[in-house]
Amino acid sequence: MIQTDNYKKNAANHAVEFVETGMVVGLGHGSTAQFAILRIAELQKTGDLGQILGIPCSHEVDNFATQLGIQLTTLNKHPHIDLTIDGADEVDPQLNLIKGGGGALLREKIVAQASKREIIIIDENKLSPTLGAKWALPVEVSQFGWELSASFIETLGAKTNLRQSEAGKPFITDSGNYLLDCNFGPIDNLDELASELSHRAGIIEHGLFLGLASDVLVAGHEGVKHLKVS
C-alpha cells in the first residue's frame, strides 16, 4: 500500500509540472488526484506556482481544495479548462478509461469534455489489455426506476450491483443519483456499449471515458512513464 501511494504521488507530482500560473485547472476526484491537489497547494505556498483557478469534480474535492487555499471557480464562469488532472480505475492501450470508482464520474466527464488537455495519473496496476478485465463499469442511474435500468444493463451482458455506502444504504452521488457497478468482464465493443448506455432513459452517465485522455502518466518501479494518444 505504501509503495502504491508512492507511485501515485510520483505520477501526481509529474502531472503538476504541466500546470502554469493563470491556468484554469480541473481538479479530479479520488486518492491519486488528491496528491496532485496537495502538490499544487505546496507549490503555491512556496511561491513556485502563482494563482490558478480550480474547478473541482466533486463536493469532496471542493472542500479539500478550499481548505488548502486553492482558489476555485465554476464551469459556468470558465467553460474552457486548460488542463485537468484526474485518476482512473482502468486504462487500455488506446488510453480509453473506466472511471467512477470514487463515485464522481458524471462531474468528471463533464470536466473532461471541457478540458483542452486531460492528464490521467495512475499506478502501473491500472493498466489493462481490455477495459472491464480488472474493473466493473460504474453507471450512474436515476433513483426513479433504477431497477429497470439494472435489468436493461443485464440484458447487455453484465452482472449489476447497487453500490452501497459505508452505512449500508445506497450510495448517492453529488447529483442525487444511484450507482450501479456493472461487471461485463472484458469489453470488446466499447463504442457500441457506450452508445447503448447513453441512449437509455434513466441512465444518467456511464464510466466509459473514450477518447478523452490526452496523456496518461503511469508510475511504477521504473519511474513515471508518459503515454500519449498516437
State how far the Cα of 185 lies from the Cα of 130, in Å rounded to an integer: 9
State how far the Cα of 204 lies from the Cα of 195, in Å rounded to an integer: 13
State how far the Cα of 67 lies from the Cα of 41, in Å rounded to an integer: 10
8 Å CB contact between 17 and 46: no
* Grid cell of 81 as nine digits: 479548462
Q: Is 108 a catalytic residue?
A: yes
Catalytic one among 90, 108, 118, 205?
108
- The catalytic site residues sit at 108
